[in-house]
Amino acid sequence: MTDQNTFMETLNAVKEIMRVAEEPLSQEEILAYFADLELEENQKQLVLDFLADSGNFEDTGEEVSDNSRIFQMYLEELEMLPVYTPEEKAEFYRKLLQGDTAMVDMISTAWLENVLQIARKYLDSKLSVEDLVQEGNIALLLKLQQLCGSMAKTDVEEELSTAVEEGVIAYVAGIRDEKELGDAIVGRVGLVYEAMKLLTEETGHSPTTEELAEYTKIPAEELEELQSIIEEANK
């Protein structure tokens, strides 16, 4: 594969072309820009998937550059991995269920591309490839350790896919819950700030916590915390 700088320059250039193009580019037009890089078929598909998802990103910002660097690292690592046949994978899974602990590392490495493919489905401008893949790999490892020596009669690939997806979904849900909590706090801070201004204009003095609690219907203890945030912001 070509050097990282050339690949990243091409990737970023194509993203910019896609951003300003009057008509969407076809897959053939996109891949034509990478023709000199001699990408493998799986790498071409990952490039297409990444550029399709990157349309949701802002054109500038840390998230894009971070995602691009991690994406490039995975392309390089995937290029060096051996390709296993379905029969070879089935043998790995059989040995895993029988208790061969060496299969945990073997399968987790062989599953790098699978984890990336699952993780990218949940990628947006607020999330990084690195974090999503890390969560997917953790879920994968835990499931492999659970299955190792279990002698379970199960579809190992389906078990692993489900575990990775559930791990990524749980992480994404947690991030979104944190964002919603942050947005709620910002909204309540704004409410208290406007109430303080209004009551000051009406009464001629800064409102007490009790007056604010009665006006906003927010408990006094929470009001004190919100007022502290406002005071800190005004310093």
Predicted pLDDT of residue 53:
54
Predicted pLDDT of residue 221:
76
Predicted pLDDT of residue 225:
74
List of E strands, 25-181: none
221 Cβ neighbours under 8 A, 6+ residues apart: none
Residue 1 is encoded by which pair of tokens? 């594969």
Binned average pLDDT, 10 residues per bin, the chain of 235 residues: 57 71 79 78 70 46 46 67 88 96 91 87 74 86 92 93 92 70 62 78 82 78 72 59
The phi-psi region of residue 204 (left if phi > 0; otherwise alpha if psi is between -120 and 50; otherwise beta) is: left
**CB 101 within 8 Å of CB 141:** no
**CB 125 within 8 Å of CB 56:** yes
Predicted pLDDT of residue 196:
80
- CA 12 vs CA 29, 34, 156: distances in Å: 15, 12, 38
- CA 209 vs CA 200, 212, 220, 224: distances in Å: 13, 5, 6, 7
Q: Hey, what amino acid is at 195?
A: A
Give the C-alpha separation, 123 to 179, whole Å: 16
- Collect contacts of 15-21 with beta carbons under 8 A, ≥24 apart: 15/51, 15/54, 16/59, 18/51, 18/55, 19/59
CA 82 remoteness from chain centre: 26
Predicted pLDDT of residue 99:
94
